[in-house]
Amino acid sequence: MLDIRQIREHAEQLQKVANRKGITISIESLLTLEQERLACLKECEQLRAQRNRWTEELKHSQGGDTGSLAQEVNRIRAQVRELNEKLRPLEAARQRLDSRCKELMLLVPNLVSADTPDGSSDHDNVELRRVGAVPSFAFPAKDHVELGSSLKLFDLPKGVAAAGSRGYYLTGAGVYLHRAVQQLAIDLLVSKGFTLLEVPLLVRESALIHTGFFPEGKSQTYSIEGEDHWLIGTAEVPLVSYHSGDWLDVSSPICLAAASVCFRKEAGSAGRDVRGLYRVHQFSKVEQVVICRADLSVSEEMHEKITAHAEELLQLLELPYRVVQVCVGDMSAKNYKQYDIETWMPSREQYGETHSSSQLLDYQARRSNLRYKDEHGKTRYCYTLNNTAVASPRILIPLLENHQREDGSVYIPEALRPYLYEWTEIR
């Protein structure tokens, strides 16, 4: 959430951003409504102040015996009653305006960085760099579904039978591979100074609002009917919520990580990436979250660092990838600046998104009330950032496809071997 002063100052820019993101909101209407709310609030405060003065007069007029004094008391009481009758509908109107302004404020997207590319979809993202050589096979290469079937790494038909569309079972070495990449990511982040937490998978709606996922992401989130519980789509939500409402020491950035199961409806994606493990409803992620002081240079530095952590993991997995800067229309409402990392997937003959790395400035912290005192004793809202260190089973797609060999086996990168009983291959 932005401060109303920011919205007023950047109204034109924010309207353009909202339009690019397909968010239905009129910034002008919000600002007009805010003026109405302030006018109503001012009138309510004036009437309450007058009521308080009259109430104070009544205290000093009680107990008098003279007729004139009794008349004065009755007159003041009548005025208080009349004022209360006037104040009651005004208070109701103020509450309605407060509620509506808050609803609209939650829809206002974040500002975007000056270097964020303009554009409306992932086709407009800008490539920053490529790392690693794309493999050239001297044999007919298999896709991850064929490899998974022949090596008994997962069972898609039984997954669909048990769980419906996009369901899957990981089996045999597929289970160990899935867990190995997560543990490698965890150990990497811990070595970088991150604090590891085990987080709740069910959170309240307020946690999703405070972290900026609602109202925009409601259609993608599973809820428990009849309860205020929602399944997380990323550990970012409980990691940020861990400090919700806290006064923090951000003299050094707070770095948190978690490995969690995640859930996503994939609403609106019917027919897209339906083969195999690319787009599933249940997956596991190792997430990194950073909370730092409100300093753009610190935020930029941490953004590069958490992106580098994800790149280091891909290098350990010996996978070719590229980094792109995400355009305005492809970023979620809460992001100020975003990089995506896309890993080469031979069966798709293109890079596929495997990681996302975002700066949010104080957009998330204002909602979650993450605060600190600066060197002048002034209250400031923190800046927050997040990045996917690894997401599985999607990462298994490039891992299997890039490392396949002509005899049908799959090479295991050296970095994974300590987590896989020192296997050098899967066959």
Q: Tell me how crowded residue 113 is: count the other CB atoms within 10 A of its CB.
A: 18
Catalytic residue among 356, 357, 358, 368: 356
Q: Tell me how crowded residue 347 is: count the other CB atoms within 10 A of its CB.
A: 20
Q: What tokens were used for 271?
A: 């027919």
**Rounded CA gap, 223 and 202, in Å?**
9
Catalytic residue among 279, 322, 348, 380: 279
Q: What angle do CA 244, 108, 365 make, to 5 degrees?
A: 20
Question: Is 264 in the active site?
Answer: yes
Q: What tokens were used for 180?
A: 């190995």
Q: What angle do CA 324, 257, 219 make, to 5 degrees?
A: 65
Question: Is 179 in the active site?
Answer: no
Catalytic residue among 287, 311, 353, 401: 353
Q: How many CA atoms lie within 13 A of 11 on its CB side?
A: 11
CA 220 to chain centroid, in Å, comes to 12
Q: What angle do CA 232, 234, 239 make, to 5 degrees?
A: 95
Catalytic residue among 20, 264, 367, 371: 264
Q: Could you please report the per-residue DSSP string of 273-325? A: S-STTSS-SEEEEEEEEEEE-S-HHHHHHHHHHHHHHHHHHHHHTT--EEEEE
Question: Is 353 in the active site?
Answer: yes
Question: Is 367 in the active site?
Answer: no
Residues that are catalytic: 264, 279, 353, 356, 394
